[in-house]
Structure 1
Amino acid sequence: MPASPSSMPPRPLEGLRVIVGVCAGIAAYKAVHVVRALTELGADVRVVPTKNSLEFVGAATWEALSHNPVRTSVFQDVDSVAHVRLGQEADAILVVPATADFMASVRMGRADDLLSASLLVTRAPVILAPAMHTEMWEHPATRDNVDVLRSRGVHVIEPASGRLTGADTGVGRLPEPEAIVQFTQSVLAAGERERDLEGSHIVITAGGTSEALDPVRVLTNRSSGKQGAALARAACVRGARVTLVLAGSNIVPPAGVEVVRSVSAADLASAVRELEGKADALIMAAAVSDFTPETSGSKIKKREGESGLTLHLTETEDILRGLTERRVPGRRPRAVCGFAAETGDEHSSALAHAKRKAQAKGADLLAFNDVSKNGFGSDHNELTFLGSSGEILGAASGSKDEVSHAMLDHVAALLTREHG
Structure 2
Amino acid sequence: MSNLAQKRILLGITGGIAAYKSIELIRLLSKAGAQVQVVLTDGAKAFVTEMTLQAVSGHPVRSALLDPNAEAGMGHIELAKWADLVVIAPASADFIARYAQGMANDLLTTLCLATESPVLIAPAMNQAMWKHPATQANSQLLHERGVMSVGPADGAQACGDIGPGRMSEPSDLYNAMDAHFSASRQEQDLLGQHWVITAGPTMEAIDPVRYISNHSSGKMGYALAAAANARGASVTLISGPVQLPSPQGVQVVPVKSADAMLAACVNAMTSQADVFIGAAAVADFKMKTVCDQKMKKQADSDELTLTLVKNPDIIATLAQQNRAKTMVGFAAETHNVLEYAKSKRERKGLDIIIANDVSRTDIGFNQDSNQVTVISANDTWTPDKAAKSDLAVQLVDFIQHHLSNLHSSQ
TM-score when normalising by structure 1:
0.62
1:55/1:187 Cα in 2 relative to 1: closer, same or farther (>3 Å)?
closer
Q: What is the aligned partner in structure 1 of residue 81 from structure 2?
A: 104
Match of 2:32 among 47, 50, 56: 47
Q: Say which SS state the counterpart of residue 299 (structure 2) adopts.
A: coil
Q: What is the aligned partner in structure 2 of residue 130 from structure 1?
A: 87
Is contact 1:209–1:287 with CA below 8 Å preserved after alignment? yes
Q: What is the aligned partner in structure 2 of residue 404 from structure 1?
A: 392
Match of 1:358 among 341, 345, 366: 345
Alpha-carbon distance in structure 2 between the residues aligned to 1:255 and 1:316: 31
Q: What is the aligned partner in structure 1 of residue 253 from structure 2?
A: 260
1:201/1:57 Cα in 2 relative to 1: closer, same or farther (>3 Å)?
same
Q: What is the aligned partner in structure 2 of residue 291 from structure 1?
A: 285
Alpha-carbon distance in structure 1 between the residues aligned to 2:200 and 2:391: 17
Q: What is the aligned partner in structure 1 of residue 318 from structure 2?
A: 323
Deviations 1:150-201 (A, max 9, x none): xxxxxx46222347xxxxx99999943325426756986x798511111111
Unaligned runs of 5+ in 1: 1-16, 36-45, 59-98, 108-127, 147-155, 164-168
Q: What is the aligned partner in structure 1 of residue 333 from structure 2?
A: 342
Match of 2:123 among 157, 161, 177: 161
2:227 partner letter: A
2:274 partner letter: D
1:19/1:193 Cα in 2 relative to 1: closer, same or farther (>3 Å)?
closer
Alpha-carbon distance in structure 2 between the residues aligned to 1:277 and 1:24: 34
1:33/1:221 Cα in 2 relative to 1: closer, same or farther (>3 Å)?
farther
1:196 aligned onto 2:189: yes
Deviations 1:332-377 (A, max 9, x none): 5211111122222xxx3x3333333233333111122222231422
1:356/1:173 Cα in 2 relative to 1: closer, same or farther (>3 Å)?
closer
User: 1:228-239 to 2 correspondence within 5 Å?
Assistant: 228-239=221-232
Q: Say which SS state the counterpart of residue 271 (structure 1) adopts.
A: helix
Is contact 1:212–1:219 with CA below 8 Å preserved after alignment? yes
Is contact 1:24–1:54 with CA below 8 Å preserved after alignment? no
Is contact 2:225–2:247 with CA below 8 Å preserved after alignment? yes
Q: What is the aligned partner in structure 1 of residue 355 from structure 2?
A: 368
Alpha-carbon distance in structure 2 between the residues aligned to 1:270 and 1:252: 23
Alpha-carbon distance in structure 2 between the residues aligned to 1:404 and 1:183: 20
1:339/1:195 Cα in 2 relative to 1: closer, same or farther (>3 Å)?
same
Aligned pairs, how many?
310
Deviations 1:214-268 (A, max 9, x none): 1221001111222222222222221122212122223222232223232111111
Unaligned runs of 5+ in 2: 14-21, 38-52, 59-75, 90-94, 100-105, 126-134, 151-167
Deviations 1:60-114 (A, max 9, x none): xxxxxxxxxxxxxxxxxxxxxxxxxxxxxxxxxxxxxxx996873477xxxxxxx
Q: What is the aligned partner in structure 2 of residue 308 from structure 1?
A: 303
1:384/1:174 Cα in 2 relative to 1: closer, same or farther (>3 Å)?
closer
Q: What is the aligned partner in structure 2 of residue 246 from structure 1?
A: 239
Percentage of matched positions with identical amino acids: 30
1:419 Cα deviation from its structure 2 partner:
3.1
TM-score when normalising by structure 2:
0.64
1:215/1:47 Cα in 2 relative to 1: closer, same or farther (>3 Å)?
closer
Is contact 2:355–2:374 with CA below 8 Å preserved after alignment? yes
Q: What is the aligned partner in structure 2 of residue 387 from structure 1?
A: 376
User: 1:156-235 to 2 correspondence within 5 Å?
Assistant: 156=118, 158-162=120-124, 175=150, 176=168, 177-178=171-172, 180-181=174-175, 184=178, 193-235=186-228
